[in-house]
Structure 1
Amino acid sequence: MRPLLLLFLMGMLVSCNEEYVSVDNSTNPQRTAKENLGKKLFFEVKLSNPEGQACASCHNPETGFSDPNHSIVSQGILANSFGNRNAPSLAYGVFSPERYYNAVDETYVGGMFLDGRSQNLETQILGPLMNAVEMNNTSHAMIANKIRNLEYFNDFTAIYGSTNDDNELLSQFANAVATYEKSREVNSFTSKFDYYSKGTVEFTQDEKDGLAIFTGKAQCANCHIVDADENTGKVLFTDFTYDNIGVPKNPLNPYYNMPASINPNGTSYVDKGIGAIVNQNNHNGKFKVPSLRNVAISAPYFHNGVYNTLEEVIHFYNKRDVENLGAPEFASNVNQEELGNLQLSLEEERKLKVFLGTLTDHYRK
């Protein structure tokens, strides 16, 4: 992991507009035509098999583009169909680089999904459409036919031109949705933290104390870095690396009860994270460090949704090695250096949670 980075917040400028960002699904003249099309597709329920599920069904703006029902694992379009992982927030995903290996820090960096299996937003988008436990389409031709029958299909031809090639049409679809996911509406930088960083609002004393704990004693900023990103000038609260922090199994994960055709290992299933993608045992059990933006509204937490509250998450980081909080789901490769016995008091845990609440978008003064 990267060393602790120091930040002089009040001297840092974070570019953002203080106007509240609407999350309505109507056409908005402030969005580009491609962003408008991408948003329609993101909320479109006619692209699943059967109809009824959209990208927004599992990644809703009201919960920071995570599961609106705060489910451990989002249910697919078919009854009792569940994948293996909690739906992560899609907000700010645009800033993740394509996956590469950092030999100095001995970690992979970037990529999409919690295991980095896709390189960018465009390649990520098509996966859920074809997944049997998500939107359940059986072929690209099926998806392309659904797109051609949308009442606003003319928006496609107006932007991309006509094509009879199904794969080309799906590439256009992925490009449009990715364009929306890259938009300011999804990545608004409108949290209280952003305004505090600009000097336009004040933190309470608890929020200031929580920030000091975040960057200091709790070591959160080792991975959820608070230096402005060198490419964007924004604070992203992640270094996009991968780590195994020793999260315990979640016995309530419905994936354990899926049929053998989906989960052949049953309750013995162990999620290897990026290790399974790169086929390297020394990376088993490691998952991508998420951005903490909107973390207060995107429960449950971690790849298997094992914790329902920020209090539980913070206490786990603080006391993993000194209390019986459950054996790690994958016992090898656990990070033993940056968490587990932070020696935070309960009051410091509380203040840390207060600070994390300042990372929620659409703050209103």
Structure 2
Amino acid sequence: MKMWHIGFAFPAGMVAATFLAAANLPARESAAPFSPATLAEIARLEAEIDRIETDTLQRLKSLPDNQVQQIELLGKLLLYDKELSVNRNEACAFCHMPETGFTGPISEINRTTGAYPGSVRTRFSERKPQTHTYAPLAPVLHYNEGQGDLVGGNFWDMRATGRRLGNPAAEQAEGPPTNPTEMGLPDIACSVYRASQRPYRGLFEAVWGAQAFAIDWPTNVEGVCNTPGPPAAGDPTPVHLSMVDRGRAATTFDQMAQSIAGYEASHEVTAFSSKYDAVLAGKAQFTQQEQQGYEVFRGKGRCNECHRDGGPGEDPLFTDSTASNIGTPANPGLPYYMEDAPDDRGYVANNKGSSFVDGGVGAFLANGHPLSQPSAVDARWKTLASGNQGRFKVPTLRNVDKRPAPDFVKAYGHNGYFRSLKQIVHFYNTRDVLPRCAPRDPREGTGCWPVPETTENMNKSKTGNLGLTDQEEDALVAFMQTLTDGYAPTQK
């Protein structure tokens, strides 16, 4: 049984146990993640999710007459619906809110653990939430023989390939519902059952057909769906349905995911409304520092080689949709390292404990993902596993600095190790120049770096010793800040 607990398990105001100390965090980040201030921040987030859901439900009274807009509305309702998690407490939006560019919206969690708790609040995943802005524009995962690389997909490890639905964003949306460390349902049929009880059922049937919820649910469905996953090994689909109803539930689950992807592709989420876009359109001008940063980005900094700003026929997505290992250090603040003992339901998230090394794309290709695998692995790609160990998808830089306030902390890297844009830029610049940190070294992040989590397939040609000055690092940060959506050009 685990000996640590998270603040959610206690009455309001009680402080959670300081389990991060056991993870040997550097002194700079030794605070408990669920302090009273964190609990207050979480409470504000939950209230804001409820408010957005309530406002969006009002739109059911006067539906758009366009099917595309109906799908977007349905997708938004699904995204903000906490009833779709096992304990009815965690919407998708808990990890993806607009004020942070649809990534982690809790400053103190970003500053400490990097990873977010699931519906079972003592369970954490091994990675930080990715943004889902611009995610629907990622191509279906494919092997580009000319460049000898996999391209496309969603998730840090590309496991939402899009090969089945033709849409990586939709397949990504199918991962969290049954991931035990996220929304925690034991069966995809539980998502469908819960959706059938919600106010948007009529809209769903109008969009996808009256057959969507025409399922003969077993009498024990409530009890089954209130039980956190994973299901027992001998009963992988614990909502016992006929073959026809199982097929219908699977189709409806696909349609739920496609609706969410439709919302993510909408202008409300994927807007191309940054200052950078205004500059491209001739409606704004970079400051001198921003212009210098853009020149460094495309030149000395070599950023544009992976975070592409577009080319003929390309939208400037600031990613090439490939994967790379930049040598990110392990994040000792991840509670996942401590999830090596059975929880109160007997579930062990991480049987490797503190020895866990995230294999990224390579681990997916070799074994699938241990917690959620929305897409099947193409067996023909298994030979690529060793060449992709430790590699993670190159994220878009759009909205990379979007935050609700200047003092709000965002986390960067697949594991949330970096806590500022300046820090990760400094890492790209000096990874191979600065010495390795001693344990609890006060210079960490400025004058030294810890060893990489893994050196397998580490990118040594485009990062590590860029020779940038401090001024050029700051200019790069200033340029990336122009990629925040919602810019309003000054009217002349």
TM-score, structure 2 length as denominator? 0.67
Question: Are 2:365 and 1:241 aligned?
Answer: no
Match of residue 97 from structure 1: 139
How far apart are the structure 1 equivalents of 2:171 and 2:468? 41
Q: Which amino acid aligns with 1:51?
A: R
**Partner secondary structure for residue 108 of structure 1:** strand
Match of residue 306 from structure 1: 417
Match of residue 56 from structure 1: 93
How far apart are the structure 2 equivalents of 1:227 and 1:290? 14
Match of residue 135 from structure 1: 183
Taking only aligned residues, the RMSD between alpha carbons, in angstroms, comes to 1.6
Question: Are 2:370 and 1:265 aligned?
Answer: no
* 1:84-123 pair list within 5 angstroms: 84-119=126-161, 120-123=168-171
Q: Displacement, 1:62?
A: 0.8
How far apart are the structure 1 equivalents of 2:309 and 2:79? 30
Contact 1:229–1:235 (CA<8 Å) still a contact in 2? no
1:294 to 392, 396, 399: 399
Question: Are 2:426 and 1:315 aligned?
Answer: yes
TM-score, structure 1 length as denominator? 0.90
How far apart are the structure 2 equivalents of 1:185 and 1:297? 15
Question: Are 2:104 and 1:67 aligned?
Answer: yes
CA deviation string 1:312-356 (max 9, x = no partner): 000000000011311111112111111111110001111110101
Q: Which amino acid aligns with 2:455?
A: A
Question: Are 2:436 and 1:334 aligned?
Answer: no
**Mean CA deviation greater in 56-65 or 291-300:** 291-300
Contact 2:293–2:475 (CA<8 Å) still a contact in 1? yes
Match of residue 275 from structure 1: 362
Match of residue 37 from structure 1: 74
Contact 2:324–2:459 (CA<8 Å) still a contact in 1? yes
Q: Which amino acid aligns with 1:272?
A: G
Question: Are 2:291 and 1:167 aligned?
Answer: no
Q: Which amino acid aligns with 1:302?
A: G
Q: Which amino acid aligns with 1:305?
A: G
* Greater relative contact order (CA < 8 Å, ≥ 6 in sequence): 1
Contact 2:340–2:352 (CA<8 Å) still a contact in 1? no
How far apart are the structure 2 equivalents of 1:340 and 1:151? 52
Contact 1:258–1:266 (CA<8 Å) still a contact in 2? yes
Question: Which one has a larger percent helix, Structure 1 or Structure 2?
Answer: 2
How far apart are the structure 2 equivalents of 1:151 and 1:339? 50
**Mean CA deviation greater in 122-131 or 28-37:** 28-37
**C-alpha distance 97-173 of structure 1, shift in aligned 2 (>3 A):** same
Larger radius of gyration: 2
Q: Gaps spanning 5+ residues in structure 2: where?
A: 1-51, 162-167, 215-247, 342-347, 367-384, 404-409, 436-448
Q: Displacement, 1:185?
A: 1.2
Q: Which amino acid aligns with 1:39?
A: K
- The percent of aligned pairs where both chains have the same amino acid is 38
Contact 1:249–1:306 (CA<8 Å) still a contact in 2? yes
Match of residue 202 from structure 1: 285
**C-alpha distance 291-240 of structure 1, shift in aligned 2 (>3 A):** same
Contact 2:95–2:103 (CA<8 Å) still a contact in 1? yes
Q: Displacement, 1:168?
A: 2.1
Match of residue 17 from structure 1: none
* 1:179-194 pair list within 5 angstroms: 179-194=262-277
CA deviation string 1:215-268 (max 9, x = no partner): 0100000101112462xx421101001111111111111111113411001110
How far apart are the structure 1 equivalents of 2:397 and 2:424? 12
Q: Which amino acid aligns with 2:83?
A: K
Say how many residue pairs are matched: 341
Q: Displacement, 1:141?
A: 2.4
Q: Which amino acid aligns with 1:73?
A: A
How far apart are the structure 1 equivalents of 2:249 and 2:456? 44
How far apart are the structure 2 equivalents of 1:170 and 1:338? 41
How far apart are the structure 1 equivalents of 2:142 and 2:249? 30
Contact 1:236–1:291 (CA<8 Å) still a contact in 2? yes
Q: Displacement, 1:173?
A: 1.0
